[in-house]
Chain A
Amino acid sequence: MTIRPLPALAAALCLALPVTAGASIPGNIDQRAREGLLHVCTDTEPDDVDDYIVCSEQVGGDPQEAYTGSECVTAGLPATCVLDFIPKVKLKATLLLIKDEVAEDGSGGSIEASGLVLQLKKGKKKATLIELFDGATLGNWNFFPEDFLVNAPVVEFTNVDQTAYQFANGTLFELGLDVRDIAAGWFPKADLSGAVAVLTAIALDPKSAPLDHDGGDLLASAATFKIEIQFVRARP
């Protein structure tokens, strides 16, 4: 496994990684998280000199492998490593996911396209970000068909086969940076400079039925999700 430069990987993880206790972490996302995100023995803050212990030893020396937690044991803590979240920085948002298997041009040709409208909210503050993507890949969701939007009851953070869906990195890189910039403005006391946005909750909006235009319909299908975004420190 080639070790990527960490800053690039950390950047690539922007708006990524369903990596909280509330979400099942798929295998490869877990691996990416190990490689790019800072893990600690207990999720305390860096100024907590007693308990803030960074995990660094990984099985086989592979940056994508599980952390052994040996540093935690040395410090008298359980041999468990968790993600190092920025505390008290959480964005709630509405995510409109769009997929069009027949995105036409002006000459009768068509391609497969996908997109999203992300509306962030904190109190009375709101911000909207929009992205379009060529093809069926949106972040690490490598096979993002219309029927997923209209049939899937929930987004599963699993990767049991090639068609599983993960909301992560890749083409979502810039979006993640913008989300972080917005969060930095809304949470001025938090230092997000070394952190990346991660999705920690995603669920279909019960008040908004999916738009079903699957199966040869020229219109796009879409579904609205309620999501939460938090921030995790990247490995130095």
Chain B
Amino acid sequence: MRRMLVLLSACLALCAAAARASIPVDLEERSREGLQHVCEDREPGEPGYVACTEQVGDAQGEYTGAECVTAGLPPVCTLDFVPKVRLKGKLLLFQDDLARNSMGISRIETGLVLEVKAGRRREKLVELFDAAEIGHWNAFTESFLVDVASQIQFTNAEESAFNFASDNLVAIGDALRALAQEAFPDADLAGAIAVLTTVVREKPKQNLVHDDAADALASAARFRVVVEFVRLRP
């Protein structure tokens, strides 16, 4: 079970689970299972730092907040953010429905270039992915990227909704944590993971529009993002 939790925690890297974002159903369930929830977002050792543990049904069920009531607090559980550790960045997302090989055969590939400012350092992280899935964005199409009307939605009302989370983003999440740890040496990020708390389209008129079925070039869009860190469940 512990191994499962560790794996799950790893899978939660870079998940959209902040108070400022609407948490989609399955992501919220993952969040409950993997991320530390507290009655108030205070720090360990502070008065009022009460961890939520009781959940409805299973590890993915809602927290009841029973521990909060016992402590004289409202029965509300929130994510346990590491304070004052925040990375701002620019995210270039791209997808190519016709990523070809030298034999003329093509497949779907996606990628990202994430430029983050960590303290005084500016770092660039680059990742490529096979197919249409980035983290929990299970249907990541070129048309999504170039639709200027669409914002990144932290909702999961249907199968094609986009969540920026976990799975093949584990490595980049770990890299972000390492960067943040170096930039914020006083913070203890050993038990925390990176989560995206803001994703906003930037310069949508400059989107690269190549989503025509016959267009071999990749489509791309730029976003401003904020990355914060949430403690994991012990």
B128 partner residues in chain A, CB cutoff 8 A: 98, 100, 103, 113-115, 132, 220
Taking chain B's interface residues, is the majority helix, strand, or loop, or is none over half, making it mixed? strand
Q: B162 at the A/B interface (Cβ < 8 Å)?
A: no
- Assembly CA distance A91 to B101 (angstroms): 27
What interface size band does chain A fall in? 35 or more
113-149 of chain A: CB within 8 A of chain B: 113-115, 117, 128-135, 137, 142
Residues on B with beta carbons closer than 8 Å to the beta carbon of A217: 171
Q: Sort chain B's interface into a size bin.
A: 35 or more
In the complex, what distance in Å separates the CA atom of A50 from the CA atom of B117? Answer: 59
| Pair count A-B, CB < 8 A | 122
Assess whether A142 is in contact with B99, with CB atoms less than 8 Å apart. no
Contact call B113/A106, Cβ cutoff below 8 A: no
- Residue in A113, A128, A217 with the greatest tally of chain B CB atoms within 10 Å: A113
Contact (Cβ within 8 A) A105 B168: yes
User: Does B129 sit within 8 A of A, measured CB to CB?
Assistant: yes
Contacts of A175 on B, CB cut-off 8 Å? 216-217
Majority SS at the chain A contact face? strand
- Please state if B99 and A133 are interface contacts (CB–CB under 8 Å): yes
Name the residue of chain A whose CB is nearest to the CB of B94: A130
- Please name all residues of chain A whose beta carbon is closer than 8 Å to the beta carbon of B80 when the two chains form the complex: none
Q: Is the CB of A106 within 8 A of B100?
A: no
* A167-188 contact mask (Cβ, 8 Å, vs B): 1 or 0: 0001101110010000000000
Task: Answer yes or no: A111 CB below 8 A from chain B CBs.
Answer: yes
Measured between beta carbons, the chain B residues less than 8 angstroms from A137 are 101-102
Expressed in whole angstroms, the minimum distance between the Cβ of B222 and any Cβ of chain A is: 9
Q: Which residues in A have their C-beta under 8 angstroms from that of B33? A: none
- In the complex, B92 has a CB within 8 A of chain A: yes
Contact B208 A113 (CB under 8 A): no
Contacting residues, chain B, for A211 (C-beta < 8 A): 124-126
Interface residue A22 (Cβ < 8 Å from any Cβ of B): no
Q: CB within 8 A of B130: which of A98, A109, A173, A221?
A: A109
Cβ–Cβ < 8 Å partners of B228 in chain A: none
Provided the pairs A211-B126, A220-B126 are in contact, do residues A134 and B131 lie with their beta carbons within 8 angstroms?
no
Of the candidates A105, A117, A173, A219, the one whose C-beta lies within 8 Å of that of B125 is: A219
Please tell me if A163 contacts chain B, counting CB pairs below 8 Å. no
B124: A residues at CB distance < 8 A? 211, 222
Q: Is B218 an interface residue (CB 8 A)?
A: yes
Where the two chains meet, the residues of A that have a C-beta atom closer than 8 Å to any C-beta of B are 96, 98, 100, 103-106, 109-111, 113-115, 117, 128-135, 137, 142, 170-171, 173-175, 178, 211, 217-222
